[in-house]
Amino acid sequence: MFFNLQYENITIGYVESTTGNVSLHAGANQIPFFGELQKSSVPGSHKAILDVIQNFLTEQTSNVSAVAGSNCTSYPILANGMAGLSLGVEMPPFDKQLIASLSFGSMSLVPSTQAKSVILSASISISINSPLGANSPLSLTSMDMNADLVYQNKTVGSLEVLGSPVVQINATVYQTTFKDKLLILAGTGATYEKFAQDFIRASDANPIQFRVSGTASVTGSFALGGLAVSGIKVDNVVAIGGLDGLHDVTVDGISIDGEEGSAFRLSVKATIGNPGITTVRLEDFTLTMADSLTDTVMGRIPVDVLEIHPGNNTVQLHG
């Protein structure tokens, strides 16, 4: 048995019975079929296939039809009688989330000159669940993403990335890099401040976790030609190490710059280690100088801007 596969009355391939001889009994019959999606010369065929793939990858069911043609069986008398018979079939969506995981290879958080926003740059590895099988891999070239960063069930901010180029690492892993995208802070920014404080304390051993939740669109190609899919669900937990509380700080030298009232002005040359993968710019805060045995505060160092890159950072502080 051989049927044309149609979507919205446009032929998009075929299905045929898995065995050469099919017995039809009185009543309902369950017949296993296999087939292929195939482009044809019929106008709209490629778009119809892309619509089915779009539905398949975005958790939507496609209502397709198996339509009997003049060659639907090897018996002409049966074929003539069945010609035009249409069997409605629901094609279920992909049973997994297309984007299996996100992992940051690098990240930069820099306060913007705009109120309540942070400039985010990042390199992200995207692992996907192969939706079309190993013999029909997706070749992605660019990605859009509109998502919220959610920390402890509260939105830190929203992020929009447009036209970010995608590089294929292997059959199921892709990498995209974007720079200077505004992370718009939610509400008063209190959630982000909590996120930032916990991020400074986090380490590889005790990473901070947040969710990236939203939708993505991808462009590229697959076996049947060009591919453009929008509305792909993004809902992934990301774990990332922080600054480990800025514990890895060594003082390389201290010089006294003179008196000011009842205080000494000091210049401190220090090395600050950043064990994570994130460049962070901290603004408008104060470091304290304290006795290591008694924790008695002996002085303060106001910091206008401190930018800390992964690895060791040599800084000059004045207080």
In this predicted model, what pLDDT tens digit does every residue of 97-153 receive, in sequence order?
899 999 999 999 887 776 678 889 999 999 998 888 777 778 899 999 999 999 999
Residue 118 sits in the same domain as residue 234:
yes
For residue 316, is pLDDT > 90? yes
Residue 193 sits in the same domain as residue 276:
no
Q: How confident is the model at residue 188 (pLDDT cuts 50, 70, 90)?
A: low
The model carries a pTM of: 0.76
Burial class (CB in 10 A: 0-12, 13-18, 19+), 286: exposed
Distance CA 188, CA 64 (A): 49
Residue 164 sits in the same domain as residue 205:
yes
Which of 30, 65, 91 finishes a domain? 91
Number of domains forming the structure of the chain: 3
Distance CA 43, CA 10 (A): 8
Residue 205 sits in the same domain as residue 272:
no
Q: How confident is the model at residue 191 (pLDDT cuts 50, 70, 90)?
A: confident
Token pair for 18: 């898995």
Which of 196, 211, 240 finishes a domain? 240
Residue 150 sits in the same domain as residue 83:
no
DSSP string for 296-317: -EEEEEEEEEEEE-SEEEEEEE
Residue 273 sits in the same domain as residue 156:
no
Residue 236 sits in the same domain as residue 220:
yes
Radius of gyration of the chain (CA): 30
Residue 180 sits in the same domain as residue 83:
no
Residue 117 sits in the same domain as residue 211:
yes
The domain in which residue 11 lies consists of: 2-91
Helix (H, G, I), strand (E, B) or coil at 247: coil
Which of 58, 91, 124 finishes a domain? 91
User: Who's near 3: CB < 8 A, 6+ residues apart?
Assistant: 14, 15, 16, 33, 66, 67, 68, 69, 72, 87
Q: How confident is the model at residue 1 (pLDDT cuts 50, 70, 90)?
A: confident
Residue 80 sits in the same domain as residue 111:
no
Q: Are 270 and 306 in contact (CB under 8 A)?
A: no
Token pair for 264: 């000494």
Residue 204 sits in the same domain as residue 277:
no
DSSP 8-state assignment for residue 245 = G
Q: Are 319 and 298 in contact (CB under 8 A)?
A: no
Residue 109 sits in the same domain as residue 81:
no
CA–CA distance from 259 to each of 105, 263, 265 (Å)?
46, 6, 6
Distance CA 239, CA 314 (A): 27
